[in-house]
Structure 1
Amino acid sequence: MRRGAVVGVLLVLAFAVAAALAVQAYETARYHRAQADRVLRDYASLAAARVAQRSAIEIFYAVKPPLQAIQHAHEMAPHKPLPRPADLHFDVMEHEFSIAPYIRFTFRMDLATGQLQTSGHTVPPGVRKWLIDTLPVHTRTVYDSSWHMGSILGQPGWDRRYVVYTVLRDSQGSLRTALGFETKPAALRPLVVHATEKFPLLPRPLTGGVEYDSMGSIIITDRFGTEIYRSAAQYTSPFTARDTIGTDMGDLYAQATLRGAVADKLIIGGLPKSRLSLILSLLGLTAVLIGTALFQLRRESQLTRLRTDFISGVSHELRTPLAQIRMFSETLTLGRVRSDEERRRSLAIIDQEARRLTHLVENLLHFSRSERQTSHITPEPTALGPLVQEVIDGFAPLAAARGATLSAAIPEDLVVTADPGAVRQMLLNLLDNAVKYGPTGQDVRIGATRETGVAKLWVDDGGPGIPRADRERVWERFWRLERDRESAVAGSGIGLAVVRELATLHHGRAWIDENGPAVGGGTRFVIELPV
Structure 2
Amino acid sequence: MTGGLYSRLIIACAILLSVLLTGLGIVLGQFFPLFSNESGLDLQRKYWLFLIVTLVLAFVLAFFIATRMMLQYARPIDQVTKTAVQIARGDYLARTQTDEFEFDNELAVAIDKIGNNLQEMSMLRTMEKERLKTLIESMGSGLLMFGREGSVNLLNGVFEKTFGFSKSEVIGKTFKSIGLPTDIENLIEEVFMTEQVHEKQVRVDVGGVSSYMSVYGAPVIGHHGNWLGIIVVLHDITKLVQLEEVRKDFVANVSHELRTPVTSIKGFTETLLDGAMEDPVILKEFLGIIQKESDRLHYLIDDLLALSGMERDGFSLQFTAVNLNAVIEDAIRGVSGKLERKSMDVLVTIPDDFILEADADRLIQVMVNLLSNAINYSKEQTKITVTVKKRQDDAVIEVRDEGIGIAQSELPRLFERFYRVDRARSRESGGTGLGLAIVKHLVEAHGGTVDVKSVMGQGTAFQIRIPMQQVEKQSV
Contact kept in structure 2, 1:235 and 1:259, CA below 8 Å: no
Residue from 275, 279, 291 that aligns with 2:129: 279
| 1:407 Cα deviation after fit | 4.5
Residue 512 of structure 1: how far off its partner (Å): 0.7
**Matches of residues 10-49 of structure 1 in structure 2 within 5 Å?**
48-49=4-5
Q: Match of 2:262, SS?
A: helix
Residues in 2 aligned to 1:337 and 1:510: alpha-carbon distance in whole angstroms = 55
Which of 12, 17, 35 pairs up with 1:61? 17
Distance 1:84 1:474 in 2: 124
Alignment of 1:112-511 (within 5 A): 194-199=68-73, 215=80, 237=86, 239=88, 260-261=94-95, 265-266=113-114, 269-271=117-119, 272-273=121-122, 275-282=125-132, 284-285=134-135, 288-289=138-139, 291=141, 298-328=238-268, 334-336=275-277, 340=281, 346=286, 349-379=289-319, 381=322, 383-393=326-336, 395=338, 407-411=345-349, 413=352, 418-430=358-370, 445-451=384-390, 454-460=394-400, 462-466=404-408, 471=412, 495-505=435-445, 507-511=446-450
Q: Mark the CA change 1:503 to 1:310 in structure 2 (over 3 Å): closer, same or farther.
A: same
CA contact (8 A) 1:426 1:498 kept: yes
Which amino acid counterpart does residue 73 of structure 2 have in structure 1? F
Distance (Å, rounded) in 1 between the aligned partners of 2:76 and 2:432 = 83
Contact kept? 2:389, 2:396, Cα under 8 Å: yes
TM-score, normalization: structure 1?
0.48
Q: Report the CA distance between 1:310 and its aligned residue.
A: 1.0
SS of 1:464's equivalent in the other structure is: coil
Paired residues of 1:69 and 1:90 also in contact (CA < 8 A): yes
Distance 2:333 2:130 in 1: 65
One-letter amino acid of the counterpart of residue 16, structure 2:
F
Displacement, 1:237? 3.4
In the TM superposition, what is the alpha-carbon distance from 1:509 to its structure 2 partner? 1.1
Partner Cα distance (2:414, 2:56) in 1? 105
Quote the Cα distance in structure 1 between the aligned partners of 2:268 and 2:87: 97
State the 1:332 CA deviation.
5.8
SS at match of 2:335: helix
What amino acid is aligned across from residue 449 of structure 1 in structure 2?
V
Q: Is the 8 A contact 2:347 2:386 kept in 1?
A: yes
Q: How many aligned positions are there?
A: 340
Equivalents in 2 of 1:385, 1:55: separation in Å?
110
2:438 maps to a residue whose letter is V
Distance in 1 (CA, whole Å) between partners of 2:337 and 2:125 is: 72
Q: Distance in 1 between matches of 2:67 and 2:271?
A: 124
Deviations 1:427-484 (A, max 9, x none): 3544566678x6988968351313166543333354334459x75x865x76969x99
Structure 1 unaligned regions, length at least 5: 1-44, 100-186, 204-211, 218-233, 241-256
Deviations 1:79-104 (A, max 9, x none): 979965785243989x89446xxxxx
Distance 1:349 1:238, change over 3 A: same
Residue in 2 aligned with 1:231?
none
Write the distance in 2 (CA, Å) between the matches of 1:60 and 1:346. Answer: 133
1:528 counterpart letter in structure 2:
I
Larger radius of gyration: 1
Structure 2 counterpart of 1:147: none
1:52 aligns with 2:16: no
Which residue of the partner structure matches residue 528 of structure 1?
Answer: 466
Q: Which residue of 1 aligns with 2:148?
A: none
Contact kept, 8 Å, 1:500 with 1:510, in 2: the verdict is yes
SS at match of 2:313: coil
Partners of 1:284 and 1:259 lie apart in 2 by 27
**Amino acid corresponding to residue 389 of structure 2 in structure 1:** R
Structure 2: gaps (5+ residues): 34-40, 97-110, 143-213, 215-233, 470-476
What is the alpha-carbon distance in structure 1 between the residues aligned to residue 93 and residue 59 of structure 2?
30
In structure 2, how many angstroms separate the alpha carbons of the residues matched to 1:425 and 1:282? Answer: 53
Higher helix fraction (1 or 2): 2
Q: Is the alpha carbon distance of 1:269 and 1:456 closer, same or farther for their aligned partners in structure 2, counting shifts above 3 Å? A: closer
Cα displacement string for residues 246-275 of structure 1 (whole angstroms, at most 9, x for unaligned residues): xxxxxxxxxxx9972456523695453252
Distance 1:431 1:511 in 2: 15
Distance 1:489 1:85 in 2: 136
Instruction: Tell me if 1:90 matches 2:29.
Output: no
SS at match of 1:449: strand
Separation in structure 2 between the aligned mates of residue 301 and residue 48 of structure 1, nearest angstrom: 73
Residues 309 and 492, structure 1, Cα contact 8 Å, conserved in 2: no
CA 1:260/1:395 → structure 2, altered by over 3 Å: closer, same or farther?
farther
- Give the root-mean-square deviation of aligned CA atoms: 5.4
In the TM superposition, residue 314 of structure 1 has moved relative to its aligned partner by 1.5
SS of 1:57's partner is helix
Contact 1:429 1:499 (C-alpha < 8 Å) held by counterparts: yes
Measure the CA separation in 2 of the matches of 1:297 and 1:454: 37
Assess if the C-alpha contact under 8 Å between 2:299 and 2:432 holds in 1. no
Provide the rounded CA distance (Å) in 2 between the counterparts of 1:278 and 1:284: 10
Kindly indicate whether the alpha-carbon contact (under 8 Å) linking 2:318 and 2:358 is maintained by their aligned counterparts in 1.
Answer: yes
Report how far residue 373 of structure 1 moved. Answer: 2.0
1:65–1:91: 8 Å Cα contact kept in structure 2?
yes
Cα pair 1:411 1:448 within 8 Å, conserved: yes
Q: Rate the CA distance shift 1:92–1:418 in 2: closer, same or farther, 3 A.
A: same
TM-score with structure 2 setting the length: 0.52
